[in-house]
Amino acid sequence: MTPGYLSIETSESHPGMARLIVSRDQPDPTPALHEDRRIRYIARFNDSEAGLMHTHELIKRRLVDQDAHLYRVTCLQAIAAADSVELRHQVLYLDCDFDDNQRQQIAEMTERYVQRRRRVAQMFETMGYVGLALLLFNMWIMSRI
């Protein structure tokens, strides 16, 4: 468990794509001159690798380059996925160029990710109870024979 930072980066040369970056040191969000890369989000996780893994799990179907952690998602979707991770984390930077509408979209997508995770957990919990009930019913039937 290594504490670190999860950043989301976009590039003008790759529109519609976002890159996840894990680092031990806090990255500098100020864009360099003549660079098309730009950090849009930084969060500090107590376990940065687990934060990356959980974020990847939410957007894995959009993976373009596994080695570069490049995904075909909007920046807003990537931020919502990272922000919805249920691990302890603290958002340190969110690009100030996002307007109120975009911030609202991030909040809505984050809530959808959280709700989806809760529905899946509820489904597996229900399946566990059904399995336990079937086991007890089977034991009761077998004890009658």
- Which tens digits make up the pLDDT trace of 30-77? 876 557 888 999 999 999 999 999 999 999 999 999 988 999 999 999
CA distance 59 to 72: 9
Which tens digit of pLDDT belongs to each residue from 79-95?
Answer: 999 999 999 999 999 98
Which residue has 């974020």 as its token pair?
Answer: 55
Q: For residue 126, is pLDDT > 80?
A: yes
pLDDT > 90: percent of the chain: 76
3-state SS, residue 134? helix
Residue 4: name the closest of 87, 97, 107, 78 by CA.
Answer: 87
Sheet strands side by side (includes 37-45): 63-65, 70-71, 14-23, 4-11, 37-45, 89-94
Q: What are phi and psi of 90, to 5 degrees?
A: -130, 125
Q: For residue 145, is pLDDT > 90?
A: no
pLDDT for 33: 53
pLDDT for 136: 94
Cα dist. 43→2, 93, 125, 135 in Å?
Answer: 14, 7, 31, 45
pTM, full prediction: 0.83
Domain count, the chain: 1
CA distance 100 to 132: 48
Give the domain range for residue 129: 4-144
pLDDT > 70: percent of the chain: 98
22 - beta bridge partners?
Answer: 6
CA distance 39 to 61: 22
Which residue has 């399995």 as its token pair?
Answer: 131
